Chain A
Amino acid sequence: MTYLEQYIALKTIVTKEMLRFMRIWLQTILPPVITTALYFVIFGRLIGPKIGQMQGFNYIDYIVPGLIMMSVITNSYANVVSSFYGSKFQHNIEEMLVSPTPNYIILTGYVSGGVCRGLAVGASVTLVAWFFSDLNFAHTLVIISTVLLTAVLFSLAGLINAIYARSFDDISIVPTFVLTPLTYLGGIFYSIDMLPGFWQNASLANPILYMVNAFRYGFLGITDIPLFTSYCIIIGFIIGLFWFSLHLLNKGYGLRT
């Protein structure tokens, strides 16, 4: 395929993916917005004032970046894992597999779809957050780059989950038992400085901690982790997951017999 043809194929996949999640916005966009709004009400307005300040900021202002990031993570992951597995389940992934579209275009197309949904939900949650807190944008470029890279990373993770999945149970196990605990323990609601020494060190093994802190730095200008370390970890994961998912597609794992 020429580069132009590859671009058309990519655009086709991305458009299809975007239309898919927009067509069912009641299932894809609205629920995370409502859930996060409830977090703002409960943790920000009701419990927040009793907690007081966290690293010099009102509690609600402190948790807003983490809550936005949480919605981006879960939605970019959920979009790719459900869409790709759904295509495998209905066999319509074969439409792409029989075509000359290279695997890296298929991969990039699905990941872009996940990124678009992650960003759409992230933007919606940010708008809701405006009603509850005084949003501050200390480093806009950091905000944009971190949210983009995180959405890419979790879209890739969702794709790998979908490739390995053999049933609908398999696509809910990882989000329930791995992603959600890691997200909640990733410093959304607290600073790791509050943890005892062992748990502080244990938290450093959680990749989500680096994303949440880099993102919070973008909003508030504070972080538990050096920004450079966060970027290195995120980019390192992206490279590793991209290579691995491309390897699985090239091998045809779970797709070609």
Chain B
Amino acid sequence: MSRALEIKNLTKTYENGFEALKGIDLVVDKGDFFALLGPNGAGKSTTIGILASLVRKTSGHVSILGHDIDTDFGRAKKLLGLVPQEFNFNIFEPVLEIVANQAGYYGIPRKLAYERAERYLKELRLWDKRFEQARNLSGGLKRRLMIARALVHRPELLILDEPTAGVDIEIRRSMWAFLREINAQGTTIILTTHYLEEAESLCRNIAIIDKGILIENTSMKKLLGKLQTDTYVLDLPAPHEAVSGLSGFSVNQIDSTTLEVEVGKDGDMNQLFSLLNERGINVSSIRTKTNRLEQLFVNLIESNQSDSP
């Protein structure tokens, strides 16, 4: 499989001496939906800034679909689309002009630019707002505008830096569906997000960065496989005091109608329900206590912090 992105020993030290990246190696395959996660200040945005040529690297090599960003930056830039974390369009320009102008910066003729702008604005449900100044859009619409703008030159690698921050769940889910669709059409996507449910739901591979180093780089499946237990919250229709005797399961009773049960990786849920049945305890609903990836993420970051000098 050919590579959409290859990063070798990437370092960045800012003028104030802060080492944002301490030698990152990363490969993203073509067609992948890849999550780049990390806490605030970990180095994600610096990495993305270097790929988009907004941040100058200190050392290392980066190539986008085989084009080195130092020696072949024109081609590398053409293949890359960026949805940045912060809104970075002219708020006084109309929506349609923002998207069509972006196409112009890639050398796309005006007529074709308007055709493509129409297509993406329609797909992202922004067409009705095409003559509105961008400042009049809601937060969710502004995020969608940035996606339309990033796609107008048809990049093969799309980087989204927290694209759904501050967006309500309905719009977020429609954006997920859209991103899945363009990924299915062949666009490689790298996503950073603080909504780990989003990364778990969308991405096939994942890298976690902390304090400028890569602390995990694997497939989502393998990473989630590392979880030893899952914690489930059980809601009971009738109150029960001091539930005990569920051998093989660790039970934490939150209140008379709520139980938290830890189930090991090899745990048998049927056995859990049998034990509850034997005690006459009915369950009205069940849910996982935390997002699984979130739990792993926290474990990894905490472990990295305790390892640090």
Give A198-257 interface residues, CB cut-off 8 Å to B: 252, 256-257
Contact B105 A96 (CB under 8 A): yes
Partner of A100, one of B74, B91, B92, B93: B74
B53 x A5 contact (CB < 8 A): no
**B223 CB-CB contact with A under 8 Å:** no
* B101 close to A12 (CB less than 8 A): yes
Where chain B touches its partner, the secondary structure class is: loop
Question: Residue of B at shortest CB range from A24?
Answer: B92
Does B54 contact A8, Cβ atoms closer than 8 Å?
A: no
Report the minimal beta-carbon distance from A250 to chain B, rounded to whole angstroms: 11
Q: Are A12 and B56 in contact (CB under 8 A)?
A: no
For chain A, residues 1 to 46, give those with C-beta under 8 angstroms from any C-beta of chain B. Answer: 1-2, 4-6, 8-9, 11-13, 16, 19, 23
Q: Which residues of chain B come closer than 8 Å to A99, judged between CB atoms?
A: 77, 102, 105-106, 153
Q: How far, in whole Å, are A4 and B82 apart by their CA atoms in the complex? A: 24
Given A100-B78, A256-B56, A1:B84 Cβ within 8 A? no
Could you say which residues of chain A place their CB within 8 Å of the CB of B104? 8-9, 11-13
Contact with A along B77-98 (1 / 0, CB 8 A): 1101010101111111100010
Q: Does A194 contact B (CB under 8 A)?
A: no
Contact A98 B52 (CB under 8 A): yes
User: Given contacts A5-B106, A101-B105, are A95 and B88 in contact (CB under 8 A)?
Assistant: yes
Query: Is there contact, CB below 8 Å, between B53 and A256?
Result: yes
A94 lies within 8 A of B73 (CB):
no
- A19: which B residues are within 8 A, CB to CB? 97
A94 and B91 in contact, given A9-B107, A100-B78, A256-B55 (Cβ under 8 angstroms): no
Q: How many residues of B contact A (CB 8 A)?
A: 35
In the complex, chain A residues whose CB is within 8 Å of the CB of B54? 94, 97-98, 256-257
B178 contacts partner chain A, Cβ-Cβ < 8 Å: no
Binary contact track B142-186/A, C-beta < 8 Å → 1, others 0: 000000010001000000000000000000000000000000000
Residues in A neighbouring B14, C-beta threshold 8 A: 257
Determine which of A8, A91, A97, A100 lies in contact with B109 in the assembled complex, contact meaning CB atoms within 8 Å.
A8
CB <8 Å contact, B90 and A8: no
Instruction: Tell me if A92 counts as interface (CB < 8 A to partner B).
Output: yes
B39 at the A interface (CB under 8 A): no
Q: Please report whether the interface of chain A is mostly helix, strand, loop or mixed according to DSSP.
A: helix
> Does residue A180 face the partner (Cβ distance < 8 Å to B)?
no
Is residue B139 within 8 Å, beta carbon to beta carbon, of the partner chain?
Answer: no
Residue among B84, B107, B109, B153 with most chain A CB within 10 A: B107
Question: What range describes how many residues of A lie at the interface?
Answer: 20 to 34
A1 proximity list for chain B (CB < 8 A):
74, 107
Q: Is B49 engaged at the interface, CB distance under 8 Å to the other chain?
A: yes
Contact B107 A95 (CB under 8 A): no
Most B CB contacts (10 A, CB to CB) among A4, A6, A16, A98 go to A98
How does the 8 Å CB contact mask read for B97-136 relative to A, with 1 for contact and 0 for none? 1000110111111100000000000000000000000000
Alpha-carbon gap, A6 to B105, bound state (A): 8
Q: A97-B53, A98-B82 are in contact. Are A5 and B77 (CB under 8 A)?
A: no
User: Which residues of the other chain, B, contact A5 by a CB distance below 8 angstroms?
Assistant: 106-107
Q: Given the complex, which residues of A lie within 8 Å of B75, measured CB to CB? A: 100
Let me know if B86 and A91 touch, CB within 8 A: yes
Whether A90 is near chain B, meaning CB under 8 Å from some CB there, is yes
CB distance from B41 to the nearest CB of A (A): 14
Task: Kindly provide the distance from the CB of B125 to the nearest chain A CB, expressed in whole angstroms.
Answer: 22
If the complex has contacts A87-B90, A257-B49, A257-B55, are A94 and B84 also in contact, measured as CB distance less than 8 A? yes
Determine the residue in chain B with the shortest Cβ distance to A99: B105
Contact A98 B74 (CB under 8 A): no
Whether A90 and B73, one on each chain, are in contact in the complex, defined by CB atoms closer than 8 angstroms, is: no
Using an 8 Å CB-CB cutoff, how does the interface string of A81-96 with B read, 1 for contact, 0 for none?
0000011001110111
**C-alpha gap A98/B80 in the complex (Å):** 9
**What chain A residues lie within 8 Å of B107 (beta carbons)?**
1-2, 4-6, 8-9, 100
- Residue with the highest number of chain B CB atoms closer than 10 Å, among A4, A13, A99: A99
Cβ–Cβ contact B106 & A92, under 8 A: no
> When the two chains form their complex, are residues A16 and B101 in contact, meaning their CB atoms are under 8 A apart?
yes
Asked whether A98 lies within 8 Å of B77 as measured between CB atoms, the reply is yes
Say how far A49's CB is from chain B's closest CB, in angstroms. Answer: 46
A257 CA / B73 CA spacing, docked (Å): 17
Chain A residue at minimal CB-CB distance from B15: A257
Residues of B within 8 A of A252 (CB): 56
- In angstroms, how far is the closest chain A Cβ from the Cβ of B273? 54
- Find the A residue at minimum CB distance from B80: A98
Collect the chain A residues with CB atoms within 8 Å of residue B84's CB: 91, 94
Interchain Cβ contacts under 8 Å between A and B, 28 examples: A8-B104, A8-B110, A9-B104, A12-B101, A23-B92, A86-B90, A87-B90, A90-B88, A90-B90, A91-B84, A91-B88, A92-B88, A92-B89, A94-B84, A95-B88, A97-B52, A97-B54, A98-B53, A98-B82, A99-B77, A100-B78, A100-B106, A101-B106, A256-B54, A256-B55, A256-B56, A257-B55, A257-B56
- Name the 3 nearest CB pairs between A and B, nearest first: A5-B107, A12-B104, A99-B105
Query: Assuming A100-B75, A100-B106, what are 6 further A-B pairs, CB within 8 angstroms?
Result: A16-B101, A19-B97, A99-B77, A99-B106, A100-B73, A100-B107
